[in-house]
Amino acid sequence: FIGCDTEDVSQTEETIAAVNHTFRYKKDKENDCDISVFPDLPETLSACTTAKGVDADNSYFNLTINDSDLAGEYGAWCVDVDLSLHADECFEANVYSSYESLPEGKFEHPENFDLINWVLNQNFIGSASPSGGTYTFGDVQWAIWELIDDQNCALCAYLGTDWSKTKGQEIVDLAIANGEGYEPGDGDSLAVVLIPTNNLQSIFIPYELECADNVGTICKRKKQTWKCIRKGCKHKKNKRKKQHKGRWKFKCSSN
């Protein structure tokens, strides 16, 4: 697979036109809701896979997160071909937004997470493919691997029987043509990356972004500047600060 900056997409116009699908890009500029792709996530969590492949519900894994504010049931996707993660396997994981700096060397093409977030928000599964049939979870998973890894699955044993490289490549081509610089907006899903601490496969879960999730009392400091998520809030120097993944966070007041 050629990196997205050199991939020839000149042949994708017919494919794009043929797919009966409305592509979602960025939030409405007139919407004054402030959505951040750096939500306040837990640093770590514990989780267990409960199903994999065709046994999962239109995703590569069914995943149960057991603790933290993210506790619940998720459809998860794999972003590492080199390692393994089985059904009914539990692990501890470090948690990251897919838009923040990820551990160096963990992913071959981390620059393509904007394309993966675009794919996540297109609802490909069940929609018609111009090559025939409909897209399946296997097509989506193959496309994710093609975008993030330097090699794809060899046997592809868990992708089911109704996926194809042709359909997977269609998704890749569409992502390259449409997803460069993509950021999810209100009501979209953010890919939240879980990196197990015991050398298992890294995965991501969809985290829904909503206006209400980003309205609060947090200021973020970056390069000596302040950003208050809540409109009108101002930083107070005497507020206590704490460090979270290398980012200093400060409480704000509305005064």
The per-residue pLDDT for 52 is: 98
How many residues are listed for the chain in this entry? Answer: 255
The pLDDT tens digits of the residues spanning 44-77 come to: 999 999 999 999 999 999 999 999 999 999 999 9
The per-residue pLDDT for 24 is: 57
Specify whether the CB–CB gap between 115 and 104 falls below 8 A.
no
Domain boundaries, the chain: 13-212, 216-253
The per-residue pLDDT for 32 is: 58
The pLDDT tens digits of the residues spanning 123-142 come to: 999 999 999 999 999 999 99
The per-residue pLDDT for 15 is: 43
The per-residue pLDDT for 27 is: 44
Specify whether the CB–CB gap between 150 and 127 falls below 8 A.
no
Query: Which one, of 190, 186, 197, lies nearest residue 43 by Cα?
Result: 197
Residue type at position 202: S
Specify whether the CB–CB gap between 131 and 173 falls below 8 A.
no
The pLDDT tens digits of the residues spanning 186-231 come to: 999 999 999 999 999 999 999 999 885 444 434 333 333 334 433 3
* Residue 255: other Cβ atoms inside 10 A: 7
Q: Is the pLDDT of residue 249 over 60?
A: no
Retrieve residue 195's tokens.
Answer: 């990196």
The pLDDT tens digits of the residues spanning 5-37 come to: 333 434 444 444 444 455 655 444 445 578 899
The per-residue pLDDT for 13 is: 44
How much is the average pLDDT of 176-194?
97
The per-residue pLDDT for 25 is: 55
The per-residue pLDDT for 34 is: 80
Task: Give strand pairing partners of 128.
Answer: 134
The pLDDT tens digits of the residues spanning 96-127 come to: 999 999 999 999 999 999 999 999 999 999 99
76 alpha-carbon distance from chain centroid: 10
Q: Buried b / exposed e across 129-152, counting CB within 10 Å, b at 16+?
A: beeeeebbbbbbbbbbbbbbbeeb
Q: Is the pLDDT of residue 83 over 60?
A: yes
The per-residue pLDDT for 22 is: 52
**pTM to 2 decimal places:** 0.74
The per-residue pLDDT for 211 is: 82
The per-residue pLDDT for 23 is: 63
